[in-house]
Structure 1
Amino acid sequence: MSVEKIDTLIVGAGQAGLAMSEHLSKLGIPHILLERDRIAERWRTGRWDSLVANGPAWHDRFPGMKFSDAHEDDFVPKDKVADYFVAYAKQIAAPVRSGVEVREVRRIAGRQGFRVETSDGVIEANNVVAATGPFQKPVIPPLVPQNSAILQIHSSAYRNPGQLPKGAVLVVGAGSSGVQIAEELLRAGKQVYLSVGPHDRPPRAYRGRDFCWWLGVLGKWDAAAPAPGTEHVTISVSGANGGKTIDFRSLGREGMILVGRTENCVDGVVTFADDLVENLNLGDANYISLLNEADAYIERNGMNLPQEPEARRVQPDPECVRNPVRELDLTKAGVSTIIWATGFAADYSWLKVDACDDKGKPRHHRGVSAEPGIYFLGLPWQSRRGSSFIWGVWHDAKHLADHIATQKKYLEYHHAADREGVGA
């Protein structure tokens, strides 16, 4: 059986893979994309039904195409985001092969390239780009026994309130996913406990501009690395219901019970850290800091943007903040479901090369792996704060494509010189 050969093989046809394809095509580098499902599948089936993009349509897109049926300031529903990527793939004629799973990648001994085992046969590639993104393996901390009577699901398995059994819900994690799910359940009439850890809480918009715009003009998207001690701090922001600033105290006053970081569970009793007030205060400080920077930017540049004094008004502490719950007997509280909005881990087990550390995390510089010929794309903080966002991954892909093109030129020189006997 003949083995197919290609210069560059891209694993994954989501936003990262398509961005990579566009830049490789512009450079004339032959490539294919292998996608085990459909283009942008996780936008369709990997999240809850009401999910919308966290940034407005003018921001969360590639430079080469706008959303055709959305206002620039709309927060686009997830299925329309998936449709956008399907249309983009067609626009750039991306060579996508759907329904093909990559099972193993190994370096070919004694010569350039990698042997790629797929569900559709063997392919040899000079370069392999892992464009599978950061959301690969849902993480559920082993705190509550899985054999308990309580339904435990990861946020990636949640779809809508009707999916859950009757009873109260404990949502663990107050980043964008956790707080949006918790609020949806509250609106559906559920008693909701929300476990709030350290977080950043930017304004959804301030003085007539979305927070994505503010992070851009203030240079925050270009931060090269998270500030010390903030590596695992989540961002609590939402585009749901037209977009609004998340206010935990308001949610508490509406009936949501806020608790601190989830620590343990013994005999059906969950314990929470005594850090709820601290976490809320730190989130507030982050919020006020951005408002201050925005005000200074407006004054410095003489911009005519409306004042917004209401943005600085702090809601009174609800009872759950004044007297935080430290222990929760799940049975007595009627909790029937725990939703773990606790993030994801990477899974590069199919990469049988020396590209990851002993914890399975990629070893790379701006996506260029420690293993020559292997590249990573779509990682959080790959080159900057904005790397895992739609527009950010597009810019990172350009860097990787340029690197591949440069290496290709070096090898072309070598082969030409070898044929002519130069340096022999």
Structure 2
Amino acid sequence: MPTPSLKSHYSAVVIGGGQAGLSASYYLKSHGIDHVVFEKKTVAHKWKNERWDAFCLVTPNWQCQLPDHPYDGTDPHGFMVKDEILAYVDRFVKKVDAPIFEQTGVTSLEKHGGLFRLETSAGAVTADAVVIATSLYADPAIPRAGERLPEDITQIHTAAYRNADQLPDGGVIVVGSGQSGCQIAEDLHLAGRKVHLVTGNAPRCARFYRGRDVVDWLSDIGQYDITVEHGGMTKKKHDTNHYLTGRDGGRDIDLRKFALEGIALYGRMSGVAAGRMLFEPNLKANLDGADRVYNGINALIDRHIAEKGIEAPAGSPYVPVWEPEAEIAELDLKAEGITSVIWATGFSPDWSFVGLPIFDGNAYPVHRRGVTAVDGVYVLGLPWLWTWGSGRFLSVGRDAEHVVGHLAARHSAQTSSLKQSVSA
């Protein structure tokens, strides 16, 4: 898209050109507020450049609810694959037609008098308000232990993984059992590779239960509308997502079944030494914890069905199909023929450019539904910004509407005050 001319001042600046930043731009346009969007790479970069070939949605298509851009395909209960997701996002990009500067990073955001000053790679600007929509997924997080792996072992992060063919022949260790780690482990396994999966405390969820997609049940129950301020939900913003998949029409991911099929499972990685990867003795605890969440979600659905008198196929708790015989403490990488390590260890946010007092002791933004304590500064696109769907296609639009609504009211008040001072 053509790059607009950079002005010296804007009523609002949006930092980040992903789904959150574009949603903010959509609502800023609807309020008639002049603004600019700065994106340090390209629009929707992560969808286009940090997803593997077999990637697909893990939530059904009907949950794609970007502003004025709901899913309009023929399979609302299916799961779009990578090319379909990119087409959906591209249509949204064209619809919003945001005033965006791509390949333009923001290097500094500070308060100067009554305005905010932003230094960018395209020049400096000032703004009355700023929306930080950079999410938590700026940079791949790779443990320092990777520096102690033998030099002949290929190491990549999930952001760089595309398919099994890009890796050298031999065994592969996937470190991390969140959504990406489990799906990539399955992708490698289906490609005929010997896979070793290092587990963590990620929970799991059934794909289908009692005749329907679990997401449909949870939506009916109201789980996606529960706010982060609901009792016990505050900690959720740091939780790992449940693992399941939409691949081939959707199915459970059961690590115990993986083990029966030949995938080797281990407890959490504790380090690397002398050509060996070391593990904590918590594989059983990790598997049991994931299953406990799985059965807890299904029990919630059981209660809903009973309370509403809904006719549905019978359900039953999950019973483990495999148990580890022993906890493996270490793995000799060369002896096991391992040639590659894939780090499914998540991402780190980059708020280093923000010179404003909006963070808590853990360097996490303090806000209420995206509104920070610094007047005129907002955050958007974070998991559990307000509800379970925040940061996703489902609810990022609703969050953007709220944030921009607050910004617009502030803008209107400032404009009115300025007019009154001028007339006086």
Q: What TM-score do you get using the length of structure 1 for normalisation?
A: 0.91
Task: Measure, in 1, the Cα distance between the counterparts of 2:344 and 2:6.
Answer: 46
TM-align CA RMSD: 2.3
| Equivalent pair of 1:198/1:234 in contact (CA under 8 Å) | no
2:296 to 285, 289, 297: 289
Q: What are the equivalent positions in structure 2 for 1:101-250 lying under 5 Å apart?
A: 101-108=105-112, 110=113, 112-146=114-148, 148-149=150-151, 150-221=153-224, 222-224=226-228, 231-250=238-257
2:104 to 90, 95, 100: 100
Deviation, structure 1 residue 355: 3.0
Counterpart of 1:367, as a letter, is G
2:278 to 256, 271, 281: 271
Gap runs ≥5 in structure 2? none
For the pair 1:32 / 2:39, whether they are aligned, the reply is no
2:388 to 385, 389, 398: 385
Q: What are the equivalent positions in structure 2 for 1:245-260 lying under 5 Å apart?
A: 245-260=252-267
Task: Measure, in 1, the Cα distance between the counterparts of 2:330 and 2:234.
Answer: 31
| Equivalent pair of 1:44/1:79 in contact (CA under 8 Å) | no
1:304 to 301, 304, 311: 311
Counterpart of 2:22, as a letter, is L
Task: Measure, in 2, the Cα distance between the counterparts of 1:155 and 1:184.
Answer: 12
Q: What TM-score do you get using the length of structure 2 for normalisation?
A: 0.91
Determine the structure 1 residue equivalent to 2:26. 22
Residue 78 and residue 241 in structure 1: after superposition, are their counterparts in 2 closer, same or farther (change >3 A)?
same
Deviation, structure 1 residue 342: 0.9
Counterpart of 1:245, as a letter, is D
| Equivalent pair of 1:195/1:260 in contact (CA under 8 Å) | yes
Task: Measure, in 2, the Cα distance between the counterparts of 1:326 and 1:261.
Answer: 10
SS of the aligned residue for 2:271 comes to strand
Task: Measure, in 1, the Cα distance between the counterparts of 2:103 and 2:143.
Answer: 31
Counterpart of 2:27, as a letter, is H
Determine the structure 2 residue equivalent to 1:72. 76
Deviation, structure 1 residue 216: 2.1
Identity of aligned residues (%): 34
2:344 to 334, 341, 346: 341
| Equivalent pair of 1:185/1:192 in contact (CA under 8 Å) | yes
Counterpart of 1:80, as a letter, is E
Deviation, structure 1 residue 129: 1.1
For the pair 1:261 / 2:263, whether they are aligned, the reply is no
Gap runs ≥5 in structure 1? none
Determine the structure 2 residue equivalent to 1:59. 63
Deviation, structure 1 residue 147: 6.2
Which segment drifts farther, 357-366 or 247-256? 357-366
1:366-417 CA-partner distances (Å, limit 9, x unpaired)? 2222332221111122122221211221111111111101212332232233
Paired residue total = 415
Task: Measure, in 2, the Cα distance between the counterparts of 1:151 and 1:104.
Answer: 35
